[in-house]
């Protein structure tokens, strides 16, 4: 299977505005920010969707959350607050199939995060 866009960012094959890196994850600014602060925290291990997270990957998933909070503290917006989101598959709005935690901050964020009328499938 060919590498995803995010594996290519990890391998420095395509550029990204990287803001944090350790042995487990990488964080970089989203190319189409949806808030004044919008970055993605991704595992170095290429896991396509949240559904593909194995029991053995639980530490990786927790690490992404820890990294989000760590970066928030370092960048000084932890106390004001922020939102983390992980989209899964089509209905979740996932477009890149390498799991990633969105971190959005820098203004009060609306809730719920969608505007269209609630409609059921089928």
How far does CA 9 lie from the centroid of its chain? Answer: 14
Helix (H) or strand (E) holding 66: helix 58-75
Residues 6+ apart with CB under 8 A from 114: none
Residues 28, 43, 71, 72: which binds ligand 5GP (CB under 6 A)?
Answer: 28
Helix (H, G, I), strand (E, B) or coil at 24: coil
Residue 12 touching ligand 5GP (CB under 6 A): no
Piece of the chain touching ligand 5GP by CB under 6 A; list 41-49, 52-60, 89-97, 103-111: 89-97
Site stretch for ligand 5GP (CB under 6 A), options 61-69, 71-79, 91-99, 113-121: 91-99
Alpha-carbon distance of 38 to 102, in angstroms, equals 7
Residues near ligand 5GP (CB under 6 A) are 5, 16, 28-32, 87, 93-96
Active site residues: 100
């Amino acid at each position: 299977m060919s590498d995803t866009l995010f594996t290519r960012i990890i391998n420095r094959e395509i550029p990204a505005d990287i803001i944090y890196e350790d042995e487990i994850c990488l964080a970089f600014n989203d190319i189409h920010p949806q808030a004044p602060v919008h970055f993605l925290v991704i595992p170095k291990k290429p896991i396509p969707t949240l559904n593909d997270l194995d029991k053995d990957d639980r530490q990786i998933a927790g690490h992404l959350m820890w990294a989000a909070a760590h970066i928030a503290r370092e960048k000084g917006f932890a106390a004001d607050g922020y939102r983390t989101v992980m989209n899964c598959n089509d209905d979740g709005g996932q477009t890149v199939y390498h799991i990633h935690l969105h971190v959005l901050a820098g203004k009060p964020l609306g809730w719920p995060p969608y505007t269209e009328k609630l409609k059921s499938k089928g």
